[in-house]
Structure 1
Amino acid sequence: MIGIVDSLPEMGVTEFEPFYRLAVAAAIGLTVGVERHWREREAASGQRTAGIRTFALIGMLGGAAGLIEAALPAGGPPGLVVASIFLAFAGIFAFYKWREEQAESDFSVTTVVAAMLTYLFGVLAVVGDLRLAAAGAVGLTAILASREPLHRFIEQLSWIELRSAIILLAMSFVILPLLPEAPYGPFGGVSLRSVWSLAILLAAISYVGYVAVRLFGAGRGELAAGAAGGLVSSTAVTLDNARRVAAGGDADRLAAGAAAAGCVSYLRSAVLAVGLAPALAGFLLPPLLLGALVMASAALWLVRGRLASAHELGRLDNPFELAGVLKVVLFLTAIGFAVRAASSVFGSAGIVSVSALAGIGDVDAAIVTVAKLPNLDTGIAALAIALTVAVNTIAKAVYALVVGRGRFGRLFGGVSTITLLVATAAFLLARAVAG
């Protein structure tokens, strides 16, 4: 529908534009009506409140109301016709839907709301933006068609995940608007709003991945647990698995979980770096993707078809505990300030050194900060991010050797060494090709 709407301006239609707009209003109703009719396709004729024909007429009703409104002389109360017809239509439709609910003991109000929105999108198609009206209709139909997946999602959503969503919404719509945008301090200062926005971005990526993995069975097997934990912190997963090995856990399976977390961390770093600075793709995608491939292959080889029993994600720290969110914000602020200060005092060498040191504990903050620095040489930025990832890989291997010791340390240390060699070779080759 949106593609057809986009082509209308190219047709040079002026005289017949009202006809096209009314047709789009009817098409909006047809789009929504197809889903509503399919939902009740087994109902006998006359037993459903609204199907494909009724919703097409609702879209046309909105379009007709818009045409009448536009034809009235100027000076009258704006929107009177549209509002009057809407109130009358909504009352009549709700009455018939109530009769249906009484007969079938179905108390859903979804169809009523969908009909009201269809009417309004029909009005918008005639007197407003065609593209917005068509996009709204497609979005409405998608929501209606997603009833079962959305219901399953809510049924499986845990309290801690719901609480994290509320915190994320509060971060985005309550705290963010209150923060000043102007930077404070030396070396370009620190913008609280910018730092908080980046924290929201990282939290949102982790939350969506966390919930998705939970819905698709995360927590069963060390591979799934490691991959899910990698969305939060691969360093934390490595340390936790090392402690479990020291307490008597299976070294092979736990090393596989740590490798799976490392794989996800490499992929996440690639998404962050290239998403924020597309010019870095040629330098960073080859080493990061190859590093992820090596980690994934090692994880599969270590388990060799014998997945562990359920390993629930509940043991992992939720990424949206308030204390954890505040730590992310403070860390982002500190790293960003240090990188800018190093850039001002020492030049490019300072950026590379500080970013590399940041990799001892985390890669996200340094990647985001370097990728967002203005006027930074692409080669220097790529080197800084590559060193951050390399130092983080080395640090995790050291943690595994010190905390996990024995077989776990050797296995994960060996996997990390191979990954680092392959990624380094790919990065050097990419730099040579670039220039």
Structure 2
Amino acid sequence: MELFERLAVALALGLLIGIERGWHQRGRKEGQRFAGLRTFGIISLLGALSGLLSDKLGSHLILAATFLGFSMLVVAAHLLEARKTEDYGSTTSVAALLTFALGAVAALGFLAIAAAVAVVTATLLGLKPVLHDWVEKLEQKELHAIFKMLLISVVLLPVLPNQTYGPLDIFNPYEIWLMVVLIAGISFVGYFAVKIAGTSRGVTITGLFGGLASSTAVTLSLSKMSRDSRGSANAVLAVGVILASGTMFPRILVEVLVINPGLVMDVVWPLMIMMVVTYGGALWLFLSSDRGKEMEPVKVQNPFEIMPALKFAAFLVVVMALAELGQQWFAEEGLYTVAALSGISDVDAITLSISRMSNQDLAYSVATNGIIIAASVNTLVKGLLVVFIGDRAMAWRVMAVLLSTIAAGIAALLLL
């Protein structure tokens, strides 16, 4: 029965990929398709039977020889089809070879691995139009930014020394650069989400995902746009600013989770309450606004360059040193002061610093208070930016929601 189960899984995986390939080639007449639903099922069974024979006879030469022969058949079929249709795409041919391998892997007992790879393969095959559209939207500077991101994370990070230096025993090159990579990675997600979705589709998309890249940048951009807008358009812009501010709270939660998972249960409720209040205010404004008007695209700058990353690393070291000194010299009040001052310009650095300190001797309650203070100050600063830069009608909407968010955060600290 176990062998029958393996063969059944192999057949199911082949049919899964065959469904996608058959749908992709549905416009061709019978006999003109390279391979469809039935063929991919048979290919997977061929791989499974070859794998079973090799396993039972104790020689993988049978599997290797069968795969070699099948590969030659696939290449010949591909060349004949390309000669007739002048379509030299090799996706289906490669998918057929992979299906054979998946059948063999399933037959050898690695069912979970085979199933996971088959699902990912079918998904990638089905996402061809979407993936091609993403590539077409990708600019050269963004491609270079991706390579730089990989350089600092995959190449540079592993070779940095993972030990502390300096009189305060806080300068750890590996940990600091890991934090830089974390912030750059979160910003990348937000930037490319806006890039793929398109900012012209609405400020709500920009607010939600642009806030991951830079909520302050989104706030400034939408505030400037409000000067030339009136009425319901400003309500929509206010929604974008509020959503960008609300995105800061799950962003903080992710940072805490990476640096000190044990602190998450202490900060999650205040942060979630603040997020719910913020998003609730945005939803209320969104439902009461006129969303039919086409808005001007919002500019979200490329989130990664080498110099800004180095500047953030330097700023992070300064904040870590001030937080440590504030805690040592003035106890909790000193840390809270540093948190408030840091929150004026950036909430990430102080969040990472406090999370790191709570891994050592800083009480979780003090760490939670410091993070909420920084988030509250940063939220207030965004509201003030709208007041001084944006339209007055937009400003009161934003300030009403953000002040409610701050009040909810303070109440959560006092009650929880």
Give TM-score, length-normalised by structure 1: 0.80
Q: 5+ unaligned residues in a row in structure 2: which ranges?
A: none
Equivalences for residues 393-412 of structure 1 within 5 A: 393-401=379-387, 412=398
> Structure 1 residue 319 and structure 2 residue 303: aligned?
yes
Aligned pair in 2 of structure 1 residues 412, 27: CA closer, same or farther (>3 Å)? closer
Task: Assess if the C-alpha contact under 8 Å between 1:264 and 1:292 holds in 2.
Answer: no
Aligned pair in 2 of structure 1 residues 221, 97: CA closer, same or farther (>3 Å)? closer
Q: Compute the displacement of 1:47 (Å).
A: 1.9
Show the counterpart of 2:62: 81
Show the counterpart of 2:352: 368
Task: Assess if the C-alpha contact under 8 Å between 1:222 and 1:308 holds in 2.
Answer: no
> Structure 1 residue 335 and structure 2 residue 316: aligned?
no
Show the counterpart of 1:4: none
Amino acid in structure 1 at the alignment position of 2:156: I
Aligned pair in 2 of structure 1 residues 36, 244: CA closer, same or farther (>3 Å)? closer
Aligned pair in 2 of structure 1 residues 362, 86: CA closer, same or farther (>3 Å)? same
Task: Assess if the C-alpha contact under 8 Å between 1:35 and 1:144 holds in 2.
Answer: yes
Show the counterpart of 1:215: 196
Distance in 1, matches of 2:28 and 2:221, equals: 55
Distance in 2, matches of 1:257 and 1:329, equals: 29
Equivalences for residues 286-325 of structure 1 within 5 A: 286-293=272-279, 295-297=281-283, 300=286, 304-305=289-290, 309-313=294-298, 315-325=299-309
> Structure 1 residue 390 and structure 2 residue 394: aligned?
no
Equivalences for residues 13-412 of structure 1 within 5 A: 16-73=1-58, 79-127=60-108, 129-219=110-200, 224-240=205-221, 249-250=228-229, 253=234, 257-273=240-256, 276=261, 277-280=263-266, 282-293=268-279, 295-297=281-283, 300=286, 304-305=289-290, 309-313=294-298, 315-343=299-327, 346-372=330-356, 373-374=358-359, 376-401=362-387, 412=398
Q: Compute the displacement of 1:179 (Å).
A: 2.0
Aligned length: 407
Provide Cα deviations, 1:288-313, integer angstroms capped at 9, x if missing partner: 22342355257548x93267654334
CA RMSD of aligned residues (A): 3.2
Distance in 2, matches of 1:341 and 1:241, equals: 38
Secondary structure, counterpart of 1:212 in structure 2: helix
Q: Compute the displacement of 1:109 (Å).
A: 0.6
Question: Mean alpha-carbon deviation: is it higher for 388-397 or for 230-239?
Answer: 230-239
Task: Assess if the C-alpha contact under 8 Å between 2:40 and 2:96 holds in 1.
Answer: yes
Secondary structure, counterpart of 2:344 in structure 1: coil
Aligned pair in 2 of structure 1 residues 224, 58: CA closer, same or farther (>3 Å)? closer
Task: Assess if the C-alpha contact under 8 Å between 1:267 and 1:288 holds in 2.
Answer: no
Question: Mean alpha-carbon deviation: is it higher for 163-172 or for 347-356?
Answer: 347-356
Aligned pair in 2 of structure 1 residues 362, 39: CA closer, same or farther (>3 Å)? same
Q: Compute the displacement of 1:136 (Å).
A: 1.1
Show the counterpart of 1:416: 402
Question: Mean alpha-carbon deviation: is it higher for 235-244 or for 173-182?
Answer: 235-244
Task: Assess if the C-alpha contact under 8 Å between 2:190 and 2:210 holds in 1.
Answer: no
Q: Compute the displacement of 1:184 (Å).
A: 2.7
Amino acid in structure 2 at the alignment position of 1:182: Q
Aligned pair in 2 of structure 1 residues 66, 338: CA closer, same or farther (>3 Å)? farther
Provide Cα deviations, 1:150-209, integer angstroms capped at 9, x if missing partner: 122222333343333222222222222332223333444333222223322222222222
Distance in 2, matches of 1:268 and 1:345, equals: 30
Task: Assess if the C-alpha contact under 8 Å between 2:327 and 2:334 holds in 1.
Answer: yes
Task: Assess if the C-alpha contact under 8 Å between 2:222 and 2:241 holds in 1.
Answer: yes
Question: Mean alpha-carbon deviation: is it higher for 83-92 or for 179-188?
Answer: 179-188
